[in-house]
Structure 1
Amino acid sequence: MRRADRLFQIIQILRRAPRPVTAAELARELEVSARTVYRDVADLVGQRVPILGEAGLGYVLGETFDMPPLMLTPDEIEAAVLGAQWVAGRGEPVLAKAARDLIAKITAVVPERLHPFIADPSIGTPPAFTQTADGIDVARTRAWIREGRKIRIDYRDARGDPSRRVIWPVIVGFFDQARMLAGWCELRGEFRHFRTDRITDPDFLEERHGLRPAVLRARWKRSLSGRPVGPHAPTQVVT
């Protein structure tokens, strides 16, 4: 790794870290010695990069740092393009368009020498399968998730048995051949997962369920472990 690239990567590591990062941790990720890290950090500080901390305790990036966030490395560009390719081929129409727009915006802001990593990437996703049409407006569903509102749906399960439910939507899952909506089901009194192509006659209610989306999502994740959980149960940390 060139020294200039290594200095840039140190900044990136500190920017994404939620806590102080020690020289040993930086050295392991960069595959250099701790002494090299100390020297590089000193050089960055000398260039007025606001790195706070000291050897042995760890380093953090000061809040005054203002390097443009789209100074992307080739690996970061290919990671973004790979994700955008997948969403463009498998996302619902609004997200698919957003993915194509994202690639165009990245192309517009990165240096020309990096354009080949976008136009001709070394990675790719398999062709998307033909998906059954959604029975619910997924873009509006995402808005209701963010706003903490309820949705009433008619649903047919795998056997074709119908039911009507009011759900507290948690998250939309995107898979190759189907999309799934996870939510707290008032009818069953537990978290359930619904294929969006089996939903009919959705009614986007103005009523709020009263939980922050992050709290409801944490309880849904806890339910995946097999432990019983209700929407009003005490919040527990989920990793």
Structure 2
Amino acid sequence: MSHSHTHAPGESHSHSHSPAPQQQQQQQQQMVMPPPDPALQAAIEQDFKPVDLKLGPPNDSTALCAKHGLEVCAECGVDFAALNNLAKLFVANPTLACPPPPQVVQPQRSQAVTKTKEDGNTLFKAQKHVQAISMYTMAANVASQRLPWEPNQLMREELSTVLSNRSAAYLAAGDAVGALVDADAVISLKKPWSKGHFRKAKALVELGRLREAKDAIQLGLQFEPMNAEMNGFLGEIEAGMKKETRIKAQ
């Protein structure tokens, strides 16, 4: 049979014909999955334990123990919480591909975190520290609820910034302990970021723990030694320690 044909106006002349039957057979053979490793398969089957379960609402999307209808059941030895949380994500987001593509990000969530954080910043500048704390808390909740397959680094970046701001708001509102807790959380999320160590030092000074504050600020300066704000605050801490020593000597 002849392969002569015409192209539509403006259509590219580059094309490919359907593979011959022999090529199709070769492609199908290449797509066949290799058999499982016998030793690995035996190990999996040895550890496999069948579990009686039933499906629950909504729309039979949750796994429950068959005997008691519980998500977590000590008697039946099952815990479907993590599995059901993942199922709820797919039920709430029916347009998501399964499995989802790698590195997918919800732009609406990023926008919500940014908008709520900026609203908190506006309240903080207006000296409305309690309201700012509430807004930062809302932003932190939104950031921490990213879908499990989204890049973890994005969540850490957003959350560390929000908690740093909330630490400052707690301190301004007179809650040095809350400020210290948030500063420690920032450090655990993003240790090389000097801002977390600065927030911690500020909270410790307010609590009268000058030696620990000095250690915190010096650790932060290891990551950013030329930071003028931190170097200036270190000088204030050292001056306070000297004054404290003189008072104790009297």
Q: Answer yes or no: same fold by TM over 0.5.
A: no
Task: Please state which structure has a larger fraction of its residues in strand.
Answer: 1
Tell me the TM-score normalised to structure 2 length.
Answer: 0.21
Task: Please state which structure has a larger fraction of its residues in helix.
Answer: 2
Bigger radius of gyration among the two? 2
Tell me the TM-score normalised to structure 1 length.
Answer: 0.21
